[in-house]
Structure 1
């Protein structure tokens, strides 16, 4: 019986998360209230608060789901290892693998960025995630001993900003150019910013 109750609780929690994600995509984070989520999920405000103390807490749970989705990339090399080696083919393969995840992560990313614009706690979460990815890039450059130490974080920031902007542009508008060309240009830029000069 306890096992059944736990499974039902998890089903309700997942329903609230998936309903919220759908509403954030359709109406935007700012345009979606706790009452909207509860009603669309076929439950009540009281039930919502039994699972999440706030809309921000729900957004944090969606961020955890996003992290899990990103970690599930099959055969994906660790970013720090890719940067450490620094060859163009490895960088290009990593970027291509990331771009293949965009359809699955699209609603999470767009909701997170919209929420970050109006919710300081979510903004801090997005900033921490962004900094974590930059830390991986810096770790790769540190191991490789490539570029002046004082430039490594800026190089990581510039590279990640390009990827983030291209990804979010695709998520909102689709490819407005040939995808192979866009990814090739991004690979070229990342190789210039992060790669080994003889690679």
Structure 2
């Protein structure tokens, strides 16, 4: 329970103050505990950020009903991509704080950079594997296409917010699906 309180307090502070401006004392105080208790659960602030990556992995976990990204890209249809993106976008609000926190943490903590880049590369690899499986496009450009698709998804997932954008989530995801289909889809 205390560990969850510390993670929740850190996430809240990272959103309001930013990762770089949030101290261990801030986190402990917001969680209603002490610095000593913080260190009983985490070795450092970057260790806590690693735990947030673990939480994000849990949040992004694939449910039995969700199609696997590799399969969606391999199918290459607009409908498959749009369906996956609509499903994934329904959770943007839920995992946005984690994505923002770990992205900022990676810019401040050198030991987290490789971990976050590796985490991003896993998603890019899933997209590329879908293209490989389908044999679409020349092999030399598949990774670049996967990077472009991921960057679009990551940017919208971290920045698009209901009520702050002129476009609805449905409209934004439709545009994203069109872009993904152009980048990744099966040509008639």
TM-score, normalised via structure 2 length: 0.94
Q: 1:150 aligns with which of 140, 148, 151?
A: 140
* 2:158 alignment counterpart: 168
Q: Tell me, which stretches of 5 or more residues in structure 1 are unaligned?
A: 1-10
Q: 1:117 aligns with which of 82, 90, 107?
A: 107
Between structure 1 and structure 2, the one with the greater Rg is 1
User: After TM superposition, where is structure 1 displaced by more than 4 Å over at least 4 residues in a row?
Assistant: none
* 1:26 alignment counterpart: 16
Q: Hey, which of these two has a bigger chunk of helix by percent?
A: 1
Are residue 59 (structure 1) and residue 49 (structure 2) matched? Answer: yes
Q: 1:26 Cα deviation (Å)?
A: 1.6
C-alpha root-mean-square deviation of aligned residues, in Å?
1.6
Q: 2:182 aligns with which of 182, 185, 192?
A: 192
Query: How many equivalent pairs are there?
Result: 188
Are residue 105 (structure 1) and residue 98 (structure 2) matched? Answer: no
Structure 1 contact 73–97 (Cα < 8 Å) conserved? no
Aligned counterparts of 2:86 and 2:30: Cα–Cα separation in 1:
36
Three-state SS of the structure 1 residue aligned to 2:140 is helix
* 1:94 alignment counterpart: 84
Three-state SS of the structure 2 residue aligned to 1:89 is helix
Three-state SS of the structure 2 residue aligned to 1:71 is coil
Q: 1:195 Cα deviation (Å)?
A: 0.9
Q: 1:174 Cα deviation (Å)?
A: 3.5
Are residue 69 (structure 1) and residue 59 (structure 2) matched? Answer: yes
Three-state SS of the structure 2 residue aligned to 1:30 is coil
Q: 1:192 Cα deviation (Å)?
A: 1.0
**Aligned pair in 2 of structure 1 residues 173, 33: CA closer, same or farther (>3 Å)?**
farther
Three-state SS of the structure 1 residue aligned to 2:187 is coil
TM-score, normalised via structure 1 length: 0.89
Q: Tell me, which stretches of 5 or more residues in structure 2 are unaligned?
A: none
Q: 1:74 Cα deviation (Å)?
A: 6.0
Structure 1 contact 142–149 (Cα < 8 Å) conserved? yes
- Superposed CA offset, 1:29-54 (max 9, x none): 11110011111112211111111100
